[in-house]
Amino acid sequence: MGGRPLCDVAAQALDELGEGKLAQAFKAALAGEVGALKELSAVRRREIVGGLTRLLDARRVAAAVRAAETLAELDGVEALPELRSKASVFSRSDGEVKEACREAISRLETRAGLPRAAQTPAPSVETLLRPVGEPEPEIDTLPRTAEGEGETPTPRVPRTAEKLAGPN
């Protein structure tokens, strides 16, 4: 490679393969000029959004940040799941990359009119179900027996239930 940066070698290789215009557009986009990449995105959108999405994992923080910004400028809503993953608190991404991804998500959701994830509060203890004790029959609502008017009625088991229970 002769001391040349890898990106220059890759750009030269892509140029020799007939993809030089795309390589130069990517290089310009990472420098802040997105115009050429926007033009190419009409024809090569999937490859461009895919390349920018993979660039979110770049070791150079500036390149990953610029990739997130470029995705927002290109309306790359296809990259929202990956942007959300990088912006997550569980992500190992650099703080600057997380912030750039959050800003890109905000811009993309605003443009696309997509609903944002709802912020749900923690459930309060008062609304949780509580265990209930075993219900006991209320005997004061049972009909009185003919035997004794003043006696407390005892619950009776229906005859069919007695037959099913069998001999004791």
Taking only the tens place, the pLDDT of each residue in 57-68 is 888 888 888 889
82 versus 18: the higher-pLDDT residue is 82
CB atoms within 10 A of CB 69: 20
32 contact partners, CB below 8 Å, separation of at least 6? 66
104 contacts 98 by C-beta, under 8 angstroms: no
Residue ranges per structural domain of the chain = 6-112
pLDDT tens per residue, range 72-126: 988 888 889 899 888 887 767 778 888 999 999 998 888 766 566 666 666 677 7
d(CA 48, CA 22): 9
Q: What is the mean pLDDT of the chain?
A: 76
pLDDT top residue among 157 and 50:
50
- Check whether 40 has a pLDDT greater than 70: yes
Residue 146 has a pLDDT of: 67
Question: Could you tell me which residue, 15 or 50, shows the higher pLDDT?
Answer: 50
What's this model's pTM, rounded to 2 decimal places? 0.58
Torsion angle, CA of 9/14/18/20, rounded to 10 degrees? -80
H-only helix segments in 31-94: 35-55, 61-73, 80-87
**pLDDT value for 160:** 58
Angle in degrees, 0-180, between the axes of helices 95-112 and 80-87, rounded to the nearest 10: 140
What's the rounded Cα separation, in Å, for the pair 51 and 33?
Answer: 16
Nearest to 57 by CA among 29, 97, 30, 96: 97
Q: Which two tokens mark 159?
A: 């005859």
The per-residue pLDDT for range 21-33, each reduced to its tens digit, is 887 887 888 888 8
- Interval 141-156 mean pLDDT: 64
